[in-house]
Structure 1
Amino acid sequence: MTVRFAISSSDGTKLAYERFGDGPPVVLTGGALTNRTAAVPLARELAGLGLSGVVYDRRGRGDSGDTEPYAPVREADDLAAVAEAVREEAGAEQVFSFGMSSGGLVVLEAAARGAALSRIVLFEPPFTGAAGQFQDPVRVARLTELISQGERSEAVAYFMAEIIGLPPQAVEGARQSPGWADMTKIAHTLGYDTTLLGDATLPAETLAAVRIPALVLSSDASTPVLQEAARATGEALPSGTHRSLPGVFHQVPPEDLAPVVRDFFTG
């Protein structure tokens, strides 16, 4: 597909996106340390099931632009702009959205603010405060310091170890992976994700404002804290449900995930 720069968010930020398939659009919003390429496998699976998967670079990532200062409402406006653009492009009556991890926080914010989305699916939104694991402001401040000093590699490692809580061997494995360079390029956006999350408690006002049907998914191999966060989010949404799927830590294979997403959006 062709990368598109024809759309801009409400603050003028250029947004790059690609669309796979010709069915009703599903806008896929990625999580921390990813650009739109991470969602391409799921987009292709959805396209094969009669939908169209739309991947886009969140602001500050990949081929999209950025505008300071950062604010969650600006990310919500970005998603709304992409949804409206693909609605017109596809001549679609409905547009859906899937949010991965912190991308789910963007989807929730957009839906609460009235973005033209018919249904949403969230995969493990990290409201770990629902399970008693709150985001530590001291650690967030240290992450912010590393980013401001240009210590991109150390910021990514710190985020993985101290914010996510990955063991040292997992962080070292990530350092040695081919994707490490790409992650360090967008290390500055980690501050966006921590801002979106706040103290990691459930945002009652935002959740209450989401009136459309919502499905919250989790992997049965994720940590108990992430699984509880997903369950609690599903229960807190006015029209929400929660479902656990077989998978690995913080992930379900696209070929297994896509049919569940398709069935919810088209059911």
Structure 2
Amino acid sequence: MDKVTSADGTAIAYDRLGNGPAAVLVCGGSVDRMSNAPLAALLAEHYTVYNYDRRGRGDSGDAEVYAVEREFEDLEAVFAAAGGSAHLYGTSSGAALALLAAASGLPVNRLALWEPPYILEGGRPRPPANTAQIFRDFVAAGRRDAAAEYFMAEVVGLPAEFVAMAKASPWWPAQEALAHTLAYDATVMGDYSVPVDALGRVTVPTQVLTGGASWSWMVESNQAVVAGLPDGSHRTLPGQEHTVDAAVMAQALKEFWR
């Protein structure tokens, strides 16, 4: 593990693996860099992989006030450590962050996005507009468990029986530990609509990947994302749900990035 310092002084931790062209991995909501660790290990056969902790997670630091732009600066610091430019992969809300960062001018070579969870008009219900504030209020009241439960049930839309099982599982304390970052991902997602203006500013080759066994609303919204990209393509990974198999994703990324 190593660290870089972001523009606001926040320390950002990352693991560097392998040799070859640089590739940076962005995790999604309610997880840290360990969620991408199996993928990083597989990609390290062909790439120099930078698997980093987003601010507020794992071994990275944080700031008192959050802004999406600070996460852009975190990525810029990781890219600088990687030599200035890199391939970029983001998963779920981390895919939305990667997309917005690329639109801001981050020097991305090729951009791969796994199931950015935008919701089309008329699709599944969108989370409330004040979702980020709901998370902040729960955490401020010391109710991290409620924040994590709200994320699973109301934002992701997981069934009540799964949420009950999760709360009784050994990994639930890790969910509570990351509860303060749920507001960060809600801020990245905005109102969960497809960011049409940002899409037009992403000029690098971009591939949006969707699981063949994923939700139908995800397939439709991911196709809408591709339609708004100047140089976009869509790929379906047969049999994959939102929690994608690392070996399947590694092969898809190798094929796109090479």
Band of TM-score, shorter chain: over 0.9
Kept after mapping to 2: 8 A contact 1:84/1:116? no
Query: 74-83 or 132-141: which moved more?
Result: 132-141
Q: Any residues of structure 2 matched to 1:53-64 within 5 Å, and which?
A: 53-64=49-60
For 2:158, the equivalent position in structure 1 comes to 166
Superposition RMSD on alpha carbons, in Å? Answer: 1.5
1:119-164: CA deviation from partner (whole Å, max 9, x where unpaired): 1100000111356343322555433321221211111011100111
What residue is the counterpart of 1:124 in the other structure? Answer: 115
Structural mapping, 1:43-122, within 5 Å: 43-48=40-45, 50-87=46-83, 94-122=85-113
Q: Which residue of 2 aligns with 1:242?
A: 234
Aligned length: 257
Q: What is the TM-score of this pair, normalised by structure 1?
A: 0.91
Task: Provide structure 2 residue ranges, at least 5 long, that are not aligned to the other structure.
Answer: none
CA contact (8 A) 2:132 2:187 kept: no
Q: How far did residue 234 of structure 1 move?
A: 1.5
Deviation of the 1:26 alpha carbon: 1.1
Give the match for residue 13 of structure 2: 16
The structure 2 residue matched to 1:33, chosen from 26, 30, 34, is 30
User: Deviation digits for residues 153-208 of structure 1, max 9, x if unmatched?
Assistant: 11101110011110011112222333211111110000001111111111111111
Higher strand share: 2
**Distance between the aligned counterparts of 1:140 and 1:29, measured in 2?**
20
Measure, in 1, the Cα distance between the counterparts of 2:49 and 2:130.
38
Asked if the contact 1:29/1:98 (under 8 Å) is kept, the reply is: yes
Identity rate, percent: 40
Equivalent AA in structure 2 for residue 73 of structure 1? E
How far the C-alpha of 1:47 sits from its partner, in A, is 1.3
Superposition map of 1:247-266 within 5 A: 247-266=239-258
1:203-248 CA distances to partner (integer Å, 9 max, x unpaired)? 1111111100000001111111122221111221111111111234
| Alpha-carbon distance between aligned partners in 1 of 2:232 and 2:200, rounded to the nearest angstrom | 10
* Counterpart-to-counterpart distance in 1, 2:150 and 2:164: 11
CA contact (8 A) 1:72 1:109 kept: no
Amino acid at match of 1:188: H
TM-superposed CA distance for 1:110, in Å, is 1.4
Structure 1 residue 114: Cα displacement: 1.1
The equivalent position to 1:42 in structure 2, one of 39, 44, 48, is 39
Question: Within 1, Cα distance between the matches of 2:122 and 2:175?
Answer: 28
**2:205 aligned residue:** 213
Change in CA separation of 1:140 and 1:11 when aligned onto 2, cut-off 3 Å: closer
Q: Secondary structure of 1:118's match?
A: strand
Structure 1 unmatched runs, 5+: 89-93
Using structure 2 for the length normalisation, give the TM-score: 0.94
Supply the distance in 2 between the matched residues of 1:197 and 1:34 (Cα, whole angstroms).
Answer: 16
Could you tell which deviates more after superposition, 202-211 or 134-143?
134-143
CA contact (8 A) 1:96 1:265 kept: yes
Verify the 8 A CA contact 1:135 1:198 in the aligned structure 2: no
Gap change, CA 1:124 and 1:242, over 3 Å in 2:
same
The one-letter code of the counterpart of 2:14 is Y
User: How many angstroms apart in 2 are the aligned matches of 1:130 and 1:114?
Assistant: 28
- 1:15-43 CA-to-partner distances (Å, cap 9, x unmatched) read 00001111112110000011111101000
Secondary structure in structure 1 of the residue aligned to 2:236: strand
Whole-Å separation in 1 of the counterparts to 2:122 and 2:11: 37
